[in-house]
Structure 1
């Protein structure tokens, strides 16, 4: 059976594993990063028109300070991020298509201008357009060795890439001459770009969420 390798950090890795099990996929866990909160001082909520999160880790690791922004319109990249915000008491969350650029355009179209972006120390750039986006770091992704990945690779294996940084790390761990029989399913075109060239295939779903990624992986496993 074709193997699916889950590279995302916990707790997301466990969620993906549970979905993979329900689909009957042969999966292995190999998180490349560990998410850790960092101390942060919440900017005054009245300075902003909207809240933006581009990763579910932000909602999980923000701590009690996040509650100060529940009155703001909340926007999220992807369904997982939206659900993580809702779990933190945000009643109305707008999930965005594709990436940070798409959700920024949606925020602007809704008439907001001053945006607080709570995210990791390393994030993809966002085309701000008419928005004024203040980025505040609330967590960081700490790299793990990842050397165990080599032992999990087999011809036809599918690597799940949940972020551009994970794509970059996978490209470092898997040299070009070993990629021809391995497939990439990434959460976005930006994540695919960081994986480099030479893979048997590389694709991303039309909406950046885990369920659609696994659907693509299941097709490759048929």
Structure 2
């Protein structure tokens, strides 16, 4: 069972997959690097939007703990609380849901929204909120780097035995996974099941042959593991 998500989250998912009886193989397609080197100015900001656990890691200790945090989903919200933030609200797991949460509970006149993200990320969310009259300030607090091992290591990991399934927790994870997968290794996955957290991730995965591509009923780990089931034997 391939687990392609990066930390934070990789270890948690590995343990959950193992508990179901599968042999979990860590194959993080991305790695995140915090790039903040000092406190993040939040004067005039009414809330901070975070769409990943990587953003939470980068913000911890860099902004006041009582700053309102609007998290994309429950897992990111849990990480924010664990990092010491005390005013955390969770959306339903997607950027669209986070935008809906902002529009329902916050007002443009209350101040700017700070979107803590990475280069190239969060653009659609920022645009959607700006169209609703909000002032959104994007700040890159971490950056994403490819995390895939070398082709030789991939052949050793994937070619040594049958792969039943692979878990993909974002469209970008799926994109980077496929981009760095040699053609011969890709062919080894033709019978495997790809489990996607969202329609966008499933669309990316559909660019190559799989035994089956399935999407989680809700964008969270529990729904993905429900599709995984318990290992036979």
1:38 correspondence with 2:49:
no
Q: Which moved more, 1:41-50 or 1:114-123?
A: 41-50
1:134 correspondence with 2:174:
no
1:143 correspondence with 2:154:
no
Aligned to 2:121: 123
Output the CA distance in 1 between the equivalents of 2:135 and 2:200: 23
Output the CA distance in 1 between the equivalents of 2:44 and 2:206: 40
Aligned to 1:100: 95
Aligned to 1:163: 170
Output the CA distance in 1 between the equivalents of 2:188 and 2:137: 41
Structure 1 residue 179, shift from structure 2 partner: 4.8
Distance 1:163 1:207, change over 3 A: same
The residue matched to 2:62 in structure 1 has which SS? helix
Aligned to 1:54: 51
- Out of 14, 34, 38, the position equivalent to 2:11 is 14
Output the CA distance in 1 between the equivalents of 2:40 and 2:7: 28
For the aligned residues, what is the CA RMSD?
Answer: 2.4
1:189 correspondence with 2:199:
yes
Listed one character per residue, the Cα deviations across residues 102-155 of structure 1 (whole Å, up to 9, x for unaligned) are 211111111333311112224253232413221111111211343333442555
Q: Kindly name which structure, 1 or 2, has the bigger radius of gyration based on alpha carbons.
A: 2
Runs (5+) with no aligned partner, structure 2? none
Distance 1:156 1:145, change over 3 A: closer
The alignment's TM-score, normalised by the length of structure 2, stands at 0.81
Listed one character per residue, the Cα deviations across residues 165-202 of structure 1 (whole Å, up to 9, x for unaligned) are 11112222164755531211122222222223332222
Q: Which moved more, 1:153-162 or 1:81-90?
A: 153-162
Distance 1:190 1:56, change over 3 A: same
Output the CA distance in 1 between the equivalents of 2:169 and 2:119: 16
